[in-house]
């Protein structure tokens, strides 16, 4: 018969975790991740409409290039694996 140590360790760990939960403070008490105590509001850049359109075009162009590259890589990999499969079968 064995395995009693595993069960005792699990029970001891659960007791320790319960004790830690009781000691834990809430986020509101700690003040962590709270933006309510910040006096200054964030300042965002203002961009003209033409600049915004240019940025959107660039981002879309980069996205299209990534999609195209991924498609080509997928086709090449599938072709290689298909060729290797048929060579292996024959």
pLDDT at 32: 60
Q: Between 31 and 66, whose confidence is greater? A: 66
Q: How confident is the model at residue 35 (pLDDT cuts 50, 70, 90)?
A: low
Q: What is the pTM of this model?
A: 0.47
39 has a pLDDT exceeding 80: no
Question: What is the rounded CA–CA span in Å between residue 15 and residue 24?
Answer: 14
Question: What is the rounded CA–CA span in Å between residue 60 and residue 51?
Answer: 14
Q: How confident is the model at residue 24 (pLDDT cuts 50, 70, 90)?
A: confident
Residue for token digits 């700690």? 30
Give the residue extent of every domain in the chain.
Answer: 47-90
Question: Which sign, positive or negative, has the C-alpha torsion 85, 86, 89, 90?
Answer: negative
Name, in order, each residue with C-beta under 8 angstroms of 31's C-beta and a sequence gap of 6 or more.
37
30 has a pLDDT exceeding 80: no
- Average pLDDT of 15-31? 75
């Amino acid at each position: 018969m064995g395995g009693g140590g595993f069960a005792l360790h699990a029970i001891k760990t659960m007791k320790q975790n319960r004790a830690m939960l009781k000691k834990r403070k809430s986020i509101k008490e700690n003040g962590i991740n709270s933006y309510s105590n910040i006096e200054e509001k964030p300042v965002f850049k203002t961009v003209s409409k033409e600049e915004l359109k240019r940025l959107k075009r660039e981002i879309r162009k980069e996205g299209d290039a990534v999609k195209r590259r991924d498609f080509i890589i997928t086709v090449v990999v599938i072709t290689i694996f298909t060729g290797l499969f048929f060579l292996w079968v024959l």
